[in-house]
Structure 1
Amino acid sequence: MPSTYALVGFAHPKPERRDDLRELLLSFVEPTRAEEGCLEYHFHVDSDDPSVFVFYEVWRSKADLDRHLALPHMREFWNSRLDYLTRDLDIRWIDMLSPYPR
């Protein structure tokens, strides 16, 4: 069983909504990093394909991630995500094999 909950996600925005989605996802960065249980939260753009956004998250526990996903702005995003995307989010759950020593 993993000691943390981590994921990598890929978002493929509709061309006409790319800038809107970029700004929306950027607006999530600072508040999410301030949440209890958020160990890492990063938002990227694919260097080879700037039409793809990538996010990387590490949470202390599944309960912390569940609290994050239950927040009103996250529920609102989840319910409207396909307004921004050409296809649904590709979320991959990952297990850390090489954690930094504490």
Structure 2
Amino acid sequence: MTETVPTANVPFALMGLAHPKPERAAELKELLLSFVAPTREEDGALEYHFHEDAADPSTFVFYEVWRSKDHLDRHLSLPHMRDFWDHRMDYLERDLEIRFLSMRSPYPRPLGN
């Protein structure tokens, strides 16, 4: 029997890669780290993590899980996120690589409406 994962109450996840300009890497790292704590407090934020690639510390990786795409959209509409998006290429060698993910394993905590 095949079970279909319902779209309601399924988290919306993404991962991204950022390749900073070498002369702006430290500045971008601090900026991205400054987003972690306030984002984790946002309504709908289930997971929000910032990483450095272990094999290439000049590559930054972020992983996010949101209660829904609407929650992510609200996050991206916040002034500091719009400002980052508008100025991201000041920091980056090439644009962000973002992959939207379909979560297939059950989320460890029940998701309310």
Classify the TM-score, shorter chain: over 0.9
Q: Distance in 1 between matches of 2:77 and 2:92?
A: 21
Q: Which runs of 5+ in 2 are unaligned?
A: 1-6
1:89 pairs with 76, 85, 96, which one?
96
Higher helix share: 1
Aligned-residue Cα RMSD (Å) equals 1.1
Counterpart check, 1:63 vs 2:63: no
Identity level (%):
69
TM-score (norm 1): 0.96
The count of corresponding residues between Structure 1 and Structure 2 is: 102
Q: Residue deviations 1:20-45, cap 9 Å, x none?
A: 00000000000000000000000000
Counterpart check, 1:46 vs 2:82: no
List structure 1 runs of 4+ shifted beyond 4 angstroms. Answer: none
TM-score (norm 2): 0.87
Q: Which runs of 5+ in 1 are unaligned?
A: none
Q: Which has the larger radius of gyration?
A: 2
